[in-house]
Amino acid sequence: MELHLKTLSELRTLLDRGEISAPELTEAVLNQMAQVDPKVQAYLTQTSDLAHLMAQQAQERLQQGERTPLLGIPIGIKDNLCTAGIRTTCASKILHNFVPPYDATVVLKLRAQGAVFVGKLNMDEFAMGSSTEFSAFQVTRNPWDLERVPGGSSGGSAAAVASHTAIATLGSDTGGSIRQPAAFCGVVGLKPTYGRVSRYGLIAYASSLDQIGPLTKTVEDCAIMLSAISGHDPRDATSVNQPVPDFRKSLRPEVKGLKIGVPREMFGQGVHPEVALRVRDAIQSLEEEGAEVHEVSIPMMEQGLAIYYILAPAECSSNLARYDGVRYGLRVGAEKGHIGMMEATRAEGFGDEVIQRIIIGTYALSSGYYDAFYLKAQKGRTLLRQEFDRVFQQVDVLMGPTAPTPAFRIGELVGDPLAMKLSDVLTIPVNLAGLPGLSVPCGLMEGLPVGLQIIGKPFDEATVLRVGYAYEQKAGLLEQLRHPTGLA
């Protein structure tokens, strides 16, 4: 089998045994990129020169006997993660020329472990969106059907894994941005517990919700990536000092006695019946393996979207205040005085979706409206979290669909902001509660992948991954998922 089609763990073995070399592997992935990325358009920046250099260095380390999980593995990085010396745009005109002087902590960790960087991936501008259509630069296409969206905001990260132009990628998830594109593209995506992974160097959207995580071909690869990027970081005060297990070691296809909660609210109105069917089948297959399934209820989940669309814009309005044309990024209207320059820069540099959210957030925080909107949303968030705590006293994991529908058509929802936002209705509550959430492919409907979402207790990624792994083994879909039909 061609090297780019293989999983991280398969490639690890081949590299460690010296059966293939790191430059050979990088070459295979870059070739695939040259062939399919003109169609898929997952990459905003391709770093092939750097990749060759890093592969060479990785090979030297391999020859010296070093054996680390990511040594020599080609990886793509979402373009909201700062990479020293590599353009980082957040898919926004306002940062079109921004070259960070430093690495995000996760990027630094990957470098230290000898990963090979193949490029920076497209996304919705500032991670605001669900289809990657809000990128200021290009529309990424779904490898299963090039007329459809890859999901968002980490659409480039998901499409790259599905089209084999990276072995694994990093994305970020504020309301579903890793899990929903993973579901749409038929790959595995994990949003870790809030605080598990350092956010230092992640360009902030909504800081109380943002979390970085991996997108991979298999659950095992996801476990490897998670161990590689996790851990406390003095540069991010919200990163938690919890031991980082070797998540790969917790993977046993064993669910006997496991208690699965199935929230009624995750199968409500708007969930496509075919999606519900695939997900129920997946849950039943675990029941056959000895898991106990309990129907549960988390009524506040239905308020999640409303709460999120106050809190996320509020935080974004404050986080995005720094793009003012003064220190870095775009500057327009220098002749207009400093206020005029800032106005012109922001009007020109931000897309409509971003501007809309800044305005909504500023409004929700303004005096007189703060209590009615922001404070009320915070109270709702607390109630939601308490409801999750309560059901997690009875069950080990929760399961439902990742997204209510499979990938929609390019252009289909851009004019319908509510419908677009509804595609995150099942993932947003997980961010509000700070919990880990995994999306694993659970079949195809009309030729498009469907995602099963597995939600865990705080810092219990080990169980989430184990259950995902058990399902993946039972389902036996991996071979089919290697060959997305849009590229055939």
Residues near ligand GLN (CB under 6 A): 127-130, 153, 173-177, 205, 312, 424
Tell the smallest beta-carbon distance from residue 101 to ligand GLN (Å).
Answer: 25
Q: Which amino acid is at 261?
A: G
Contacts of 355 (CB under 8 A, 6+ apart): 346, 347
Beta carbon nearer to ligand GLN, 72 or 176: 176
Q: Which of 304, 298, 232, 291 is nearest to 258 (CA)?
A: 291
The active-site residue, picked from 131, 163, 172, 177, is 177
The token duo for 65 is 């006997």
Tell the smallest beta-carbon distance from residue 344 to ligand GLN (Å).
Answer: 26
DSSP assignments along 304-354, one per residue: HHHHHHHHHHHHHHHHGGG-SSSSSS----GGGHHHHHHHHHHHHHS-HHH
Burial (CB count <10 Å: 0-12, 13-18, 19+), residue 223: buried
Gap between the Cα atoms of 286 and 464, Å rounded = 13
Q: Based on the residue annotation, tell me whether 457 is a catalytic residue of this protein.
A: no
Gap between the Cα atoms of 326 and 330, Å rounded = 9
The answer to whether 140 touches 150, Cβ cutoff 8 Å, is yes
Whole-number Cα distances in Å, 230 to 188, 194, 209, 317, 349 = 18, 11, 17, 28, 33
Residue linked to tokens 């005109």: 93
Q: Based on the residue annotation, tell me whether 366 is a catalytic residue of this protein.
A: no
Q: Which of 175, 139, 157 is nearest to 422 (CA)?
A: 175
Q: Based on the residue annotation, tell me whether 21 is a catalytic residue of this protein.
A: no
DSSP assignments along 270-299, one per residue: TS-HHHHHHHHHHHHHHHHTT-EEEEE--G
Beta carbon nearer to ligand GLN, 22 or 128: 128
Q: What is the DSSP letter of 264?
A: G
Tell the smallest beta-carbon distance from residue 309 to ligand GLN (Å).
Answer: 8
SS (H, E, C) 84-143: CCECCCCCCHHHCCCCCCCCCHHHHHHHHCCCEEEEEECCCHHHCCCCCCCCCCCCCCEC
Tell the smallest beta-carbon distance from residue 153 to ligand GLN (Å).
Answer: 4
Tell the smallest beta-carbon distance from residue 134 to ligand GLN (Å).
Answer: 8
Beta carbon nearer to ligand GLN, 119 or 129: 129
Beta carbon nearer to ligand GLN, 59 or 132: 132
The active-site residue, picked from 6, 78, 109, 217, is 78
Tell the smallest beta-carbon distance from residue 172 to ligand GLN (Å).
Answer: 6
**Beta-sheet strands, E only, within 174-305:** 188-191, 211-216, 259-263, 292-296
Beta carbon nearer to ligand GLN, 69 or 129: 129
The active-site residue, picked from 135, 153, 227, 230, is 153
Tell the smallest beta-carbon distance from residue 476 to ligand GLN (Å).
Answer: 30
Beta carbon nearer to ligand GLN, 54 or 426: 426
Beta carbon nearer to ligand GLN, 205 or 374: 205
Question: Phi, psi (5° rounding) for residue 402?
Answer: -80, -45
Tell the smallest beta-carbon distance from residue 104 to ligand GLN (Å).
Answer: 16
Gap between the Cα atoms of 111 and 310, Å rounded = 37
Beta carbon nearer to ligand GLN, 149 or 240: 149
The catalytic site residues sit at 78, 153, 177
